[in-house]
Structure 1
Amino acid sequence: MCRWSPTTMIRRDMKSSLLVILILNACCVFSQRKTAHDGFYFVGCFENATTEVQFELDTEEVFYVDFKREEVVYTMPKFVVEDPSQIFEIHHLYRNAARAKGFCPLAVAFIKAEEKNPPEERDAPESILYPAEGLQLGVENTLICFVNHFYPPDIRVSWTKNGHPVSEGLSLSRYFLNKDQTFHQFSTLTFTPREEDVYSCTVEHLALARPLTRIWEPEFTHPSPVPDIFCGVGLTLGLLGVAAGTVLLVKGHFSALQTLNT
């Protein structure tokens, strides 16, 4: 059982890309476990005629609509549901999303007339740069540049390696909506860690006075040979000590036997 409550939010930036966010918030209770879950159906209507549609459950994205390919893309992990399309197919997701997209121009025109130039809003992004997995020299890995809390949803991400631009092995995710109506996005770089290499991720955005750059370089720990030497010396001395103790012990027993015989 689900109860839906619609809300509308409006944001605007200097590039006149008015964004009307139509949200359906749902509180769903599943009878099998009697557990409540929060659903979030998002329709973003942009003045530049683009539309974003996605659905989240308990802050985890379940699917989004790719209008270019005219399909619903499920992002729910397969270990949760092997084939989520079987669950949602009765809801005609793409058809309903297409209807929402057709409604968007009317919604934007109405809001523009009602609001009379909504105030400009900008939120500067934050970013962090980190590897996806533990570092191993010469083993392929992925660098992740996580950009968060920005508005409007329009950023440019670029990479460098040792000061030179990188164009291969890159990917950029679509942007995701945060609860505060800002956005976040991921850019990744496939790389092979080498000593002394330096990487950077640079973000450009309307709300930044200058580009935001994060720098990362791999750090490898090399074991010192000194502890091994000490360990070998200690082991040798220990064995010598055991041998000497054994000799003394045998001599002691031998002396005791001679005394008894005497």
Structure 2
Amino acid sequence: RYESFTDTHSSLFLSLFAHEVVFVVACFDNGQTEAQIEFDAQEILYVDFERQEFVYTVPKFVMLDPSKMFVDISDYDDAKRGKRLCSAVVTYCTAAEKNLPEEKDPPESILYPAEDVQLGVENKLICFVNHFYPPSINVSWTKNGDPVSEGVSLSRYFPNSDGTFHQFSTLTFTPSEGDVYSCTVEHSALETPKTSIWEPEFRRQSHGPDVCCAVGLTLGLLGVAAGTFLICIV
């Protein structure tokens, strides 16, 4: 079970433009709590409760030090207060809904390589899972039908504007001819697991034009040699 509550600041002005900053606290009935701050619907940081600090997710090319820009709203005490409220929020919502089954949205998934595929060159396969609710999925990988765990990573949950979530799972691999990879997603809204399959395709270099040019050049040289021989005889 998952519940969330937000604190919205729509009157924040940065660079003479109005922006919306939303502080989101997600509460799970297993005791887990997640908190993050969104800037114009994009996550800029999340709270690491174990290390008791903010982790900024703003790319460096956007700003070198986001902590200076968001110093006024990055208050860890707010996150701790939100975490303490989680238990009460989940208990209240459960009682209010009288344990009715919550709405569920099944995930969509797509499997693709991070870079152009080259034979024998290390790459990453990305399994992008999107539009699912509640935010709890299981992702597993196989190579040629065998389970794979080495080189696998799973991102955190990221919220969508419609209340659903998306998440990434990646597999580091070195492509070889004939290999077949699969990504399987399990979710409570799916009757059966959903599997996406991917096979590497390599661009084969054609030597046809090169061969034709070489043959043409050889015939041309032979023609020149034959002409020279005939001139000498005359």
The interval holding the TM-score normalised by the smaller chain is 0.7 to 0.9
Q: Residue 21 of structure 2 aligns to which amino acid in structure 1? A: G
Secondary structure at the counterpart of residue 233 of structure 1: helix
Secondary structure at the counterpart of residue 52 of structure 1: strand
How far is 1:68 from its partner?
2.4
Aligned mates of 2:183, 2:75 — CA distance in 1:
36
Pair 1:88 & 2:78 matched:
no
Aligned partner of 2:152 among 156, 170, 192 = 170
Counterpart position of 2:138 = 156
Counterpart position of 1:107 = 89
Secondary structure at the counterpart of residue 80 of structure 2: helix
Q: Residue 24 of structure 1 aligns to which amino acid in structure 2? A: D
Counterpart position of 1:10 = none
Aligned mates of 1:224, 1:91 — CA distance in 2:
59
Range with greater deviation from structure 2 (130-139 or 88-97): 88-97
How has the CA–CA distance of structure 1 residues 35 and 239 changed in structure 2, closer, same or farther, with 3 Å as cutoff?
Answer: farther
How far is 1:98 from its partner?
0.5
RMSD: 2.4
Stretches (4+) displaced over 6 A: 238-241
How far is 1:21 from its partner?
1.7
Aligned mates of 2:220, 2:83 — CA distance in 1:
79
Range with greater deviation from structure 2 (105-114 or 173-182): 105-114
Aligned mates of 2:73, 2:8 — CA distance in 1:
17
Larger Rg belongs to: 1
Aligned mates of 1:81, 1:40 — CA distance in 2:
19
Equivalenced residues, count: 228
Pair 1:145 & 2:123 matched:
no
Secondary structure at the counterpart of residue 69 of structure 1: coil
Pair 1:61 & 2:33 matched:
no
Q: Residue 180 of structure 1 aligns to which amino acid in structure 2? A: D
- Deviations 1:148-206, CA, capped at 9 Å, x for gaps: 11111111111111111111111001111111111111000111111111111111111
How has the CA–CA distance of structure 1 residues 96 and 31 changed in structure 2, closer, same or farther, with 3 Å as cutoff?
Answer: closer
Pair 1:191 & 2:191 matched:
no
Secondary structure at the counterpart of residue 218 of structure 1: coil
Counterpart position of 1:207 = 189
How far is 1:235 from its partner?
4.2
Q: Residue 37 of structure 1 aligns to which amino acid in structure 2? A: H
Counterpart position of 2:31 = 49
Q: Residue 158 of structure 2 aligns to which amino acid in structure 1? A: F
**Uncovered stretches (5+) of structure 2, i.e. residues with no partner:** none
How far is 1:23 from its partner?
2.1
Please tell me whether the aligned partners of residues 113 and 125 of structure 2 are also in contact (alpha carbons under 8 angstroms): yes
Q: TM-score, normalised by structure 2?
A: 0.87
Range with greater deviation from structure 2 (164-173 or 79-88): 79-88
Trace 1:8-87 onto structure 2 (pairs within 5 A): 17=1, 19-28=2-11, 30=13, 32=15, 34-87=16-69
Q: TM-score, normalised by structure 1?
A: 0.78
Percent of residue pairs identical: 60
How far is 1:44 from its partner?
1.2
